[in-house]
């Protein structure tokens, strides 16, 4: 779970509020900020550089032997099948739900909208845990598609619903006046305008499918992530695992490329000025019951099943499962790691966020791209790179908190950027100048004006990253020092021993910690649409 | 013969009345302007005609076909009525050519030729066909929206403030171009606007809406010179309103004895004089009725004068006049009235 809700906001979705570049060297010495941002960007290139170096190091013959073999072919087929079945299923489900909740007179639309986002609060591997508890025989491609769709469709629902809310209804009126019946209005005028939202959401889900480990292990479906962890557990620094990591990175880059091509460079904003009138909701009439069945069914499968299973295990376990084992210990360690990682990631993102708001330019865009790309890499690849580098070059750092925190920083850098960038944009350089004109020194001006204004955004960044770390499984499994257990890893080791009963409290605590973020995300998507 | 008949249309949103009892008829090939301040219900009226909304009461009949009655309505896509919205509402994901061809029936023969014919009709360069809507200026987008609506050969064209987003100079140009195109195509048009000058110059029938009610409908000349009430008079242009006593064909007021247009009422009345009817003559020895200029505001070709009349307890009357031989504050002037003045029907 390296991509949690916060990574939805990719750089392209953020408004570029910094108008003209600030004058260089006037407010803060930009060269040092550039240097810091450059350092973080270099760090974020580590995983990519590592794979390139390993490929070079082992030689072409070994690469060929390790990559061009049946095992890799089988994993590629599995991955392709998984993407090809899950993505269309997610698109179909998310667009239907978004249209029903935003554009029709469906009863309790606001409630259904909330319930369509809420599955995000349940980590994907808890989804599969819930299903496997209920239907122990689930395995293979179709089960993987089914559970992935339920766990990930909100990533598409959020942007599609927000876009639907923002679309200018005048466009639909125009299409109707040109003789199109309501169905053709939807397919010819509305759907094409959802393309950007669908492309963005689909990419996010596709990357999740590549990086997810726990979900697929539980229903015994082999993907690159599960294969790499398997290899890793048998030999810490095997060229085989590294080569699989290389292929996985190529898959990520391929997906991003496909999305870029599909998205194109088109503009889908409203053309022209003037206030958009709120869209009319279509009457469902006789379709109300089937529509209700769809939304209620989705909620039952994506929320009802996890909550039912967890509730049942808690009921069966009673008080004793809360007292057994290192639950309190795992909770404290999770909180400490999350906060530490959150603060570190926010500090690491700060120079870049500053540059992208105050000194935009070509160099800044390249550096920023580095910050963002690393967040789309699977946790398993980042962890693998860090393990190999520490083992080969700086052994004392192997399996230390420092390495684990670096992994978290890399995985959640984009999330930290999102909140910081937005709040720095709220603190224009003019305010600092005004403070200096009123007698403050440059340092005082930054401290008293900019830091104060950016503080809420920084706090939001810390929280976003911290919640991501709470539910992170793969990298933590691979990198955590001996004896360190988070809620996620403890949950994982219990379920691996088929102790579903004992695992339930850990799952519940992860869900409880994630719920506030999910609700905030839902509220925010409403707000950006001006409601 | 009428093309479109609106019978006692009413529409409310919750407790807010948007339209009440509006009746109007539109002749084939004619141009009608619906004017009113914002919130007067004019856009609602247009949306009812287009079929985007259903009237609560009343009837809409187009060429003998009932489009809406008693809560039932023919949906927009079956009405054959074209509409050009305020900002054009072009499809941002389609090229200009595809936008224009959007409403064509499937398998329209000579699609390309028809697109070229339409883009020529709205006087746009053919090179624009491959562009996207956001690459065009506001005026060009409006022309494309018009071409797109014309592509369906509509029975009626609705224009929803299509010029309001344009610059002043461009606006007049566009208005003339659109009139020309629609006249050549022989399509009856309804224009909704809050700009009275636009309404008066565009239409051969003007309907004034206020608070959801139709105040008055008629030719632009009729409405401008003989408005039903003070609000209508002031909405359609500047006016000087004075109390007067009507006797036969004349009325006595603070400006002396003036001719009245239609001597419908006698005795105490209120008269309306359009400022262009008043000529200001500098005359130090002017006999009564005369006045003294109390304020002069120079603004280029025309200027505004405030004149306090002798011997009446009225606020100074405000007159726009040519800046040639402009009197200065303190000068004594005589006010001559040209033509007949209008008496409001009631009260």
Judged by CB atoms closer than 8 Å, whether chains meet at B165 and A179 is answered as no
Q: Which two tokens stand for residue A166?
A: 């923002």
Predicted pLDDT at B35 = 93
Q: From the CA of B220, how many Å to the nearest CA of chain A?
A: 28
- Say yes or no for a CB contact (<8 Å) between B91 and A178: no
Is B93–A178 a contact, with Cβ atoms under 8 angstroms apart?
no
Three-state SS annotation for A1-53: CCCCHHHHCCHHHCCCCCCCCCCCCCCCCHHHHHHHHHHHHHHHCHHHHHHHH
B30 within 8 A of B46, measured Cβ to Cβ: no
- The dihedral built from the CA positions of residue B332, B338, B340 and B346, taken in this order, carries a sign that is negative
CA atoms within 13 A on the CB side of A476: 26
Non-local CB neighbours of A81 within 8 Å, separated by 6+ positions: A141
Q: Is B172 found in the same domain as B35?
A: yes
Q: What average pLDDT does the structure give for chain B?
A: 87
Q: Note whether A265 contacts B: Cβ–Cβ < 8 A.
A: no
How many contacts does A have with B, using Cβ atoms within 8 A? 102
pLDDT tens readout for residues A216-257: 999 999 999 999 998 888 876 678 888 888 899 889 889 988
Give the DSSP per-residue string, A314-347: HHHHTTHHHHSSSHHHHHHHHHHHHHHHHHHHHH
Range of the domain at B14: 4-231
Which of residues B216, B231, B246 is at a domain's end? B231
A285 interface with B at CB cutoff 8 Å: no
Reply yes or no on whether the pLDDT at A156 is more than 60.
yes
B92 touches chain A (CB under 8 A): yes
At residue A302, the pLDDT reads: 95
CB distance A248 to A228 below 8 Å: yes
Residue at a domain's end among B231, B265, B295? B231
Asked if B321 has any chain A CB less than 8 Å from its own CB, the reply is no
Chain B residue with Cα closest to A272: B87
The pLDDT of residue A25 is: 39
Question: So what's the pLDDT on residue A153?
Answer: 96
Min Cα–Cα distance to chain A from B103, Å = 5
**pLDDT higher than threshold 60 for residue A19:** no
**Which of B50, B90, B141 is opposite residue A177, by nearest beta carbon?**
B50
B positions 134-173 inside 8 Å of A (CB): 134, 138, 141, 145, 148-149, 151-152, 165
Residue A178, chain B, CB below 8 Å: the answer is: yes
Per-residue pLDDT at A12 exceeds 80: no
User: Total domain count for chain B?
Assistant: 2
Contact A461, A345 (CB under 8 A): yes
- Three-state DSSP class for residue B319: strand
> What distance in Å separates residue B100's CA from the closest CA in chain A?
10
Q: Cβ–Cβ contacts within 10 Å for residue A132, how many?
A: 21
Q: Which of A172, A185, A271, A273 to mutate to test the interface with B (most CBs of B within 10 A)?
A: A271
Q: Does A163 touch chain B (CB under 8 A)?
A: no
Q: Does A173 touch chain B (CB under 8 A)?
A: yes
Peptide bond into A258 cis (omega under 30): no
Of A181, A185, A193, the CB nearest to B93: A193
User: Which residues touch A253 (CB under 8 Å, ≥6 apart)?
Assistant: none
Average pLDDT over residues B298-313: 84
C-alpha pair distances (Å), B8 with each of A27, A174, A204, A450: 67, 26, 55, 61
Name the least confident of A7-21, A271-285, B223-237.
A7-21
Q: Are B32 and B190 in contact (CB under 8 A)?
A: yes
Contact criterion met (CB below 8 Å) for B332 and B291: yes
Q: Give the SS3 label for residue B195.
A: coil
The pLDDT assigned to B287 comes to 63
Contact A174 B86 (CB under 8 A): no
Chain A residues closer than 8 Å to B53 by CB: 280
pLDDT, position B263: 66
Which whole number is the average pLDDT over B192-201?
Answer: 90
pLDDT digits 0-9 by tens, A93-104: 999 999 999 999
- Predicted pLDDT at A272: 46
In a shared domain, residues B136 and B278: no
Chain B residues close to A270, C-beta within 8 Å = 87, 92
Identify which of A185, A271, A273 has the shortest CB distance to residue B92. A271
pLDDT class of A88 with cuts at 50, 70, 90: very high
Tell if the CB–CB gap between B87 and A271 is shorter than 8 Å. yes
Give the one of B47, B77, B88 whose C-beta lies nearest to A271's C-beta.
Answer: B88
Residue of B nearest to A183 (CA): B77
Residue showing tokens 């993987």: A144
Model confidence at A84: pLDDT above 60: yes
- Average confidence (pLDDT) over A169-191: 89
Q: With contact defined as beta carbons under 8 Å apart, do A427 and A453 qualify?
A: yes
In the Cβ-directed half-sphere of A287, how many Cα atoms lie within 13 Å?
Answer: 10
Clarify whether residues B301 and B157 are in a common domain.
no
* Of residues B86, B92, B102, nearest to A274 (C-beta): B86
Nearest by CB: B138 against A182, A269, A272? A272
β-strands B188-193, B31-35 pairing: parallel
Cβ–Cβ under 8 Å, residues B31 and B90: no
Contact B87 A173 (CB under 8 A): no
pLDDT at position A93, please? Answer: 97
**Do both B100 and B150 map to the same domain?**
yes
What confidence category does residue B61 fall into, taking pLDDT thresholds of 50, 70 and 90? very high
- CB B276 within 8 Å of CB B290: no
Q: With H, G, I as helix, E, B as strand and everything else as coil, classify residue B237.
A: coil
| The pLDDT of residue A296 is above 90 | yes
Nearest to A266 among B81, B93, B151 (CB): B93
Question: Which one of B103, B138, B165 has the shortest CB-CB distance to A179?
Answer: B103
Q: Which CATH number does A5-9+24-263+308-521 carry?
A: 1.10.3720.10
A106-141: per-residue pLDDT in tens?
999 999 999 999 998 999 999 999 999 999 988 899
Q: Please count the residues of chain B.
A: 347
Q: What's the CATH number where B335 sits? A: 2.40.50.140
Q: Which residue has the tokens 């599955």?
A: A119
Tell me the C-alpha distance between A507 and A514, whole Å.
11
How far is it, in rounded angstroms, from Cα A94 to Cα A288? 18
Picking from A171, A179, A194 by the largest number of B CB atoms within 10 A of its own CB, the best residue to mutate is A179
Nearest chain B residue to A273 by CA distance is B87
Q: Is A267 on the interface with B (CB under 8 A)?
A: yes
pLDDT of residue B320: 83
Distance CA B62, CA B60 (A): 7
Q: How many other C-beta atoms lie within 10 A of the C-beta of residue A439? A: 8
Closest partner CB to B89 (pick from A173, A181, A193) = A173
Q: Which residues contact B345 (CB under 8 A, 6 or more apart)?
A: B228, B229, B264, B265
Contact B92 A180 (CB under 8 A): no
User: How far is CA B322 from each of CA A162, B238, B276, B280, B307, rounded to the nearest angstrom?
Assistant: 56, 15, 10, 9, 15
- For an interface test with A, the pick among B42, B77, B140 (most A C-beta atoms closer than 10 Å) comes out as B77
Distance of CA B150 to the CA centre of its chain: 22
Per the structure block, which two tokens stand in for A236?
């810490």
The B residues from 46 to 65 touching A (CB cutoff 8 Å) are 47, 50-53
Residue A182 has pLDDT above 80, yes or no: yes
Kindly list the residues from chain B whose CB atom is less than 8 angstroms away from the CB atom of residue A170: 85-87, 89
Burial of B314 from C-beta contacts in 10 A (0-12 / 13-18 / 19+)? exposed
| CATH number of domain containing B142 | 3.40.50.300
Q: Which two tokens stand for residue A60?
A: 């072409």
The predicted pLDDT at position B11 comes to 92
Percent share of chain B, pLDDT over 90: 32
> Does B75 contact A181 at a Cβ distance shorter than 8 Å?
yes
Q: What pLDDT is stored for residue A273 in this prediction?
A: 43
Residues in chain A: 531
Between A508 and A22, name the one with better pLDDT.
A508
Q: Considering only B5-9, B25-29, B279-283, which range has the smallest mean pLDDT?
A: B279-283
Name which of A173, A272, A280 is nearest B165 (Cβ-Cβ).
A272
For residues B91 and B8, membership in a common domain is answered with yes
Q: Do B200 and B84 share a structural domain?
A: yes
Confidence band of B223 (pLDDT split at 50, 70, 90): very high
Instruction: Count CB atoms within 10 A of the CB of residue A141.
Output: 15
pLDDT bucket at A30, cuts 50 / 70 / 90: low
pLDDT bin (cut points 50, 70, 90) of residue A8 is very low
CA distance B77 to chain A (A): 4
CB contact under 8 A, A177 and B93: no
Interface test with A, best of B14, B44, B91, B138 (most A CBs within 10 A): B91
For residue B5, what is the enclosing H or E element? strand B4-13
Question: What is the per-residue pLDDT across A452-465, written as a single tens digit (0 to 9) for each?
Answer: 888 888 888 888 88
Pairwise CB contact (< 8 Å): B141 & A272: yes
**DSSP 8-state symbol, A394:** -
| A266 has a chain B CB within 8 A of its CB | yes
Q: What is the pLDDT of residues A495-513, one digit of tens each?
A: 988 888 889 999 999 999 8
B147 and B18 share one domain:
yes
pLDDT of amino acid B289: 66
* Beta carbons of A291 and A282 less than 8 angstroms apart: no
Predicted TM-score of the model (pTM):
0.80
- Whether residue A174 and residue B91 make contact (CB cut-off 8 A), yes or no, is yes
Give yes or no for B263 touching A (CB within 8 A).
no
Last residue of a domain, one of B172, B198, B231: B231
Q: What does the longest C-alpha to C-alpha distance in chain B come to? A: 81
Q: Is the pLDDT of residue B258 over 90?
A: no
**Under 8 Å between Cβ of A384 and A242:** yes
ipTM, two decimals: 0.73
B165 contacts A178? CB cut-off 8 A: no
pLDDT of residue A10: 37
Reported confidence tier of residue B345, pLDDT bands at 50, 70, 90? low
Query: Is residue B227 located within the same domain as residue B242?
Result: no
Confirm or reject contact between A271 and chain B (CB < 8 A). Answer: yes
Which residues in chain A have Cβ-Cβ distances shorter than 8 Å to B88? 271-272
Is B132 in Cβ contact with A272 (below 8 Å)?
A: no
pLDDT, tens digit (0-9, with 9 covering 90-100), for A377-435: 888 889 988 888 888 888 888 888 899 999 999 999 988 887 788 778 877 777 777 77
- Chain A CB within 8 Å of residue B118 CB: no
Closest to B187 measured CA to CA, from B81, B101, B102, B88 = B81
Q: What is the pLDDT of residue B275?
A: 85
- Say what percent of chain A tops pLDDT 70: 90
pLDDT of residue A506: 92
Average pLDDT of the residues of chain A: 84
């Amino acid at each position: 779970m390296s991509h949690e809700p916060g990574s939805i906001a990719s750089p392209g979705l953020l408004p570029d509020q910094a108008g003209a570049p600030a004058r260089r060297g006037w407010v803060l010495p930009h060269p040092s900020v550039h240097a810091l941002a450059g350092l973080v960007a270099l760090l974020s290139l580590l995983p990519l550089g590592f794979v390139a170096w390993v490929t070079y190091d082992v030689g072409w013959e070994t690469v060929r032997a390790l990559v061009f073999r049946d095992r890799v072919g089988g994993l590629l087929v599995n991955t392709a099948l998984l993407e090809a079945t899950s993505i269309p299923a997610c698109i179909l489900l998310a667009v239907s739900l978004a249209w029903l909740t935003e554009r029709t007179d469906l009863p309790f639309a606001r409630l259904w909208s909330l319930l369509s986002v809420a599955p995000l609060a349940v980590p994907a591997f808890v989804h599969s845990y819930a299903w496997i508890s209920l239907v122990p025989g689930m395995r293979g491609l179709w089960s993987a598609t089914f559970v992935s769709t339920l766990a990930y469709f909100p990533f598409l629902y959020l942007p599609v619903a927000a876009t639907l809310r923002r679309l200018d209804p005048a466009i639909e009126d125009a299409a109707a006046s040109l003789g199109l019946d309501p169905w053709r209005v939807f397919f010819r005028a509305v759907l094409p305008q959802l393309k950007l939202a669908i492309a963005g959401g689909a990419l996010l889900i596709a990357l999740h499918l590549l990086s997810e480990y726990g979900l697929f292990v539980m229903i015994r479906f082999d993907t690159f992530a599960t294969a790499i962890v398997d290899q890793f557990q048998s030999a810490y620094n095997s060229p085989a695992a590294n080569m699989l990591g290389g292929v996985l990175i190529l898959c990520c880059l391929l997906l991003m490329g496909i999305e870029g091509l599909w998205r194109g460079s088109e503009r889908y904003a409203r053309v022209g000025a003037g206030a958009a009138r709120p869209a009319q909701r279509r009457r469902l009439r006789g379709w109300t019951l089937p529509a209700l069945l769809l939304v209620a069914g989705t909620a039952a499968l994506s929320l009802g099943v996890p909550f039912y299973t967890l509730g049942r295990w808690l009921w069966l376990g009673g008080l004793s499962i809360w007292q057994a084992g290192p639950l309190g210990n795992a909770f404290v360690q999770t909180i400490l790691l999350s906060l530490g990682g959150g603060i570190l990631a926010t500090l690491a993102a700060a120079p870049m966020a500053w540059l992208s708001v105050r000194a935009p330019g070509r160099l800044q865009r390249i550096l920023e791209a580095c910050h963002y790309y690393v967040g789309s890499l699977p946790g398993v690849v980042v962890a693998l790179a860090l393990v190999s580098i520490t083992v080969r070059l700086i052994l004392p750092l192997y399996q230390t908190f420092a390495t684990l925190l670096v992994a978290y920083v890399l995985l959640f850098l984009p999330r930290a950027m999102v909140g910081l960038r937005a709040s720095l944009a709220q603190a224009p350089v003019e305010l600092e100048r005004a403070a200096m004109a009123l007698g403050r020194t440059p340092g005082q001006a930054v401290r008293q004006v900019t830091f104060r204004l950016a503080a809420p955004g920084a706090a939001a960044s810390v929280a976003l990253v911290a919640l991501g770390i709470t539910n992170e499984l793969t990298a933590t499994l691979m990198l955590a020092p001996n004896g360190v257990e988070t809620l996620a890893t403890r949950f994982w080791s219990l379920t691996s021993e088929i102790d579903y009963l004992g695992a339930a409290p850990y799952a519940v605590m992860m869900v409880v910690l994630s719920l506030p973020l999910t609700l905030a995300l839902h509220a925010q998507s409403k707000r950006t649409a001006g409601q | 013969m009428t093309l479109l008949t609106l019978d006692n249309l009413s529409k409310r949103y919750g407790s807010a009345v948007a339209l009440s009892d509006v009746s109007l008829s539109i002749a084939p090939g004619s141009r009608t302007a619906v004017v009113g301040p914002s919130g007067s219900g004019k856009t609602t009226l247009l949306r009812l005609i287009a079929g985007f909304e259903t009237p609560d009461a009343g009837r809409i009949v187009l060429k003998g076909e009932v489009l809406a009655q008693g809560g039932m309505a023919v949906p927009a896509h079956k009405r054959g009525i074209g509409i050009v919205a305020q900002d054009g509402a072009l499809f941002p994901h389609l090229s200009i050519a595809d936008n224009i061809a959007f409403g064509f029936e499937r398998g329209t023969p000579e699609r390309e030729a028809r697109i070229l014919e339409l883009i020529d009709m709205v006087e746009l360069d053919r090179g624009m066909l491959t562009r996207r809507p956001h690459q065009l200026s506001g005026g060009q987008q409006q022309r494309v929206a018009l071409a797109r609506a014309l592509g369906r050969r509509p029975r009626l064209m609705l224009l929803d403030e299509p010029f309001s987003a344009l610059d002043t100079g461009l606006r007049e140009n566009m208005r003339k171009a659109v009139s020309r195109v629609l006249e050549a195509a022989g399509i009856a048009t309804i224009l909704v606007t809050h700009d009275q000058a636009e309404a008066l110059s565009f239409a051969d029938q003007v309907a004034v809406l206020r608070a959801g009610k139709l105040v008055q409908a008629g030719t632009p000349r009729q409405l401008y010179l003989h408005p039903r009430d003070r609000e209508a008079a002031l909405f359609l242009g500047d006016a000087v309103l004075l109390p007067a006593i009507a006797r036969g064909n004349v009325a006595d007021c603070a400006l002396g004895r003036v001719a009245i247009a239609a001597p419908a009422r006698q005795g105490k009345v209120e008269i309306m004089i359009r400022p262009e009817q008043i000529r200001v003559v500098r005359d130090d020895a002017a006999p009564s009725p005369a006045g003294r200029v109390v304020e002069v505001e120079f603004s280029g070709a025309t200027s505004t004068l405030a004149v306090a009349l002798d011997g009446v307890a009225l606020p100074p009357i405000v007159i726009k006049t040519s800046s040639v031989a402009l009197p200065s504050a303190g000068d004594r002037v005589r006010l001559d009235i040209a033509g007949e003045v209008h008496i409001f029907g009631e009260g």
